[in-house]
Amino acid sequence: MGEGMKITKINELKSVYDIAMKLVTGETAGKLDEAYLNRVFAPSFNAYGPDEAAICSNLQEFRDRMAKLRTILDFSSLLKEPSAVERSYSPGKIAAVYIDKFRQQIKDAPLLRVSTFLFKTDDGWQVTHMHLSFPSSFSKPTVSKPLEDEAQSNQNYKIQLEERTRALNDSLEVLKATQAQLLRQEKLASLGQLTAGIAHEIKNPLNFINNFSELSLEFLDEIKEQLEKLDPNEATEEINFLLEDVKANLAKIYQHGTRADGIVKSMLLHSRGGNGKMEDVDLNTLIREYVNLAFHGMRANKNPINVDIQLDTDPGLGLVKMNAENFSRVILNLCKNAFDAMREKLEQKDTKDYTPKLIVRTKHLQDKVIVEVEDNGPGVPEGIKEKLITPFFTTKKGSEGTGLGLSISMDIIQSHGGVMDITTKEKEFTCFTIKLNKEGPGPDKK
């Protein structure tokens, strides 16, 4: 078999499986080069059986074990084509389990059962584990003294195998969590596109409302100027009164239309995601917009609550170099967590006199910027405080929390060269304090 053919066939599940079966029967003994076998069998390959002492932690041990067993057991009497018992595949067909039984040509000879575990890598399919066994009713062969001497050594391998299994289980849990995260991100991406589409459609008619209300206000001023040129009488006075009412109504329309336009712009910025650029940003204005957006988002969802929101912004703060789109997510996440915490406290007993309060402060200290988001919710127990920014850790029930909000917020803050501290007292308050460099992160963070 040429090297080109080997590389082609190693990507095929059946070719890899066939090589594993031939190693069991000894059909390929001495016929395959090491490089080829190392591509067929994973670096982490291990095997067990068929005798109790046979725990092999790598391919070479497995080959040696099979060679020794072939000197004791008459593997030559095995039928070359096994009978399939099970063929199982993982979702996406990236892993497979093949279970086969080998019948021997000798009458009343026991079956040999072989389980083969295969995994698909970027380089093709590889064998990761094999398990060989005889029926429980079959008296296992008495192995030679060299095999017995290795029993203790293989006991150590068994311990290592158990440890490796635990590690693989841990890795599996991480993979499941990562998969769940990817699904959430996909849903969030779809939601972002939907939000952008809705916001864009709202913005078009909103522009007409704002523009024509502003234009109508100018027309009213012109009408008043023309009326003043006429001789005053009862009719002109009545018209003036009506014009004042219309002007006041139009001013309200323009005021609320402008506010709605600001909300739509914030939605568009948030749904489009960050462009990765650090720019000079009016942080006080950004905080006002996104605290307001977070509040109205909470009010529009289930179980809305009333919150006394206090903004204590430093007028001397000026412009701060940051990624506005990314940092806005931090404000939204912190406000959302605060609203959820205060709702939880509000639902507890003996909270008749409790009023949810959110305080957001900004301070300018030399070359630093301080942002504080404080709520008077139930606080955080000391045992949980250290876990808050751990990915996937959440104190919320069911599917209400992803456990990613604070983790993502911390990543964004660190990308700005900043830090975030948590101060809390059970049953009283929680305060998140963010410290940033006013001129942005260092060169390695930009």
CATH number of 284's domain: 3.30.565.10
Specify the pLDDT at position 342. Answer: 93
408 & 306 share domain: yes
Residue 174 lies in a domain: no
Please report the pLDDT score of residue 401 as a whole number: 53
Same domain, 256 and 283: no
Given this model, what pLDDT does residue 435 score?
95
On whether residue 164 sits in a domain, the answer given is no
- At residue 111, the pLDDT reads 72
Whole-angstrom distance, CA of residue 57 vs CA of residue 224: 95
Tell me whether residue 404 is in a domain: yes
Distance from CA of residue 196 to its chain's centroid? 22
Last residue of a domain, one of 238, 272, 306: 272
Q: Are residues 291 and 436 in the same domain?
A: yes
Residue where a domain terminates, one of 103, 126, 149:
149
84 and 37 both lie in a single domain: yes
Half-sphere exposure at residue 169, Cβ-oriented, CA atoms within 13 angstroms: 6
The residue ranges of the chain whose pLDDT is under 50 are 1-10, 137-148, 398-399, 444, 446
For the chain, the distance separating the N- and C-terminal CA atoms, rounded to the nearest angstrom, is: 53
Tokens of 253: 């329309």
Q: Give the pLDDT score at 321.
A: 93
Amino acid present at 283? L
Instruction: Report yes or no on 170 lying in a domain.
Output: no
Residues 412, 382, single domain; the answer is yes
Please check whether residue 166 lies inside any domain of the structure. no
Which bin fits 93, alpha (ψ -120 to 50), beta or left (φ > 0)? left
Residue where one domain finishes, among candidates 272, 301, 322:
272
Q: Specify the 3-state DSSP secondary structure of 24.
A: helix
3-state helix/strand/coil string of 41-60: EEEEEEEECCCCCCEECCHH
pLDDT digits (tens, 9 = 90+) for 172-226: 776 776 666 666 665 656 566 666 667 767 777 888 888 888 888 888 888 888 8
Q: Domain total for the chain?
A: 3
Which domain, by its residues, includes 243? 180-272
Question: What pLDDT is attached to residue 76?
Answer: 59
Extract the tokens encoding 365. 């200290």
Whose CA is closest to 358, among 295, 307, 298, 285? 307
Helix axes 59-70, 13-25, angle to 10 degrees: 40
Whether residue 284 is found in the same domain as residue 424: yes
Both 268 and 311 in a single domain?
no
pLDDT value at residue 173: 74
